[in-house]
Amino acid sequence: MRSWLLTIVLVPLAACTTVPDKLQGTYPAVSPAGVEPAVFGNTVRWGGVILDSTNAQDKTCFEVLSRELDKYLRPKQEDRTAGRFIACKAGFYDPEVFTPGREVTLIGRIRDVEVKSIGEFEYRYPVVETEELVLWEVREEVLVVDNYHSSFGYPYYWHGPYWGYYPYYRPGWPMHHRSYIRTRQLLPDPADIPDGH
């Protein structure tokens, strides 16, 4: 028999390592929190996490919590935000695919500001008429397991900074290897779904 000491780490892995063609270009540095009438009509590239979606007769509108974009133009995983915004796009986008928590990056024109309530607070949402929309793949989580065992297959024991066979502890480290166990598989990338579906 062997004793196992498991060090478990959840490592998020982004599946995409290139910038999608539809998101490339240069856009003004306008944040959702900085939208005033003077910037209505500007085309922006924003991203974030879907909070909710509403399907109308001819379009779908997403409420998005904005996030800064990384070098691949994917929203960063962080607690900071530049505010919320509403992104509307022509066509039907299934709420079972575009679910709360999914990450999106879009290019669109700032139309106006819509006031909606969050609890008792009146919040000013910039509204964007979306031209390009990327729904990012679900990030993959990998379970990293560090396995420590003796070179002879016998149980070993830890005692502070020492290890070995009881009661003969000695300094140093036992043999070690690392294994990876996938705990969540990537979903197909809905960015490849034709517009309006």
| C-alpha–C-alpha distance, residues 183 and 78, integer Å | 22
| C-alpha–C-alpha distance, residues 14 and 91, integer Å | 28
- pLDDT at position 134: 95
Q: What is the pTM of this model?
A: 0.68
Tell me the pLDDT tens digit for each residue of 129-175. 999 999 999 887 666 655 545 444 445 454 455 555 555 555 554 55
Q: What is the DSSP string of 1-46?
A: ----EEEEEEEEE-S--S--GGG-S------GGG--GGGTT-EEEE
Whether residue 32 contacts residue 85, with contact meaning beta carbons closer than 8 Å, is answered with: yes
- What ranges do the domains of the chain cover? 1-16+137-197, 19-136
Six-digit token pair at 65? 């919590």
Q: What's the CATH number for 19-136?
A: 2.40.50.140
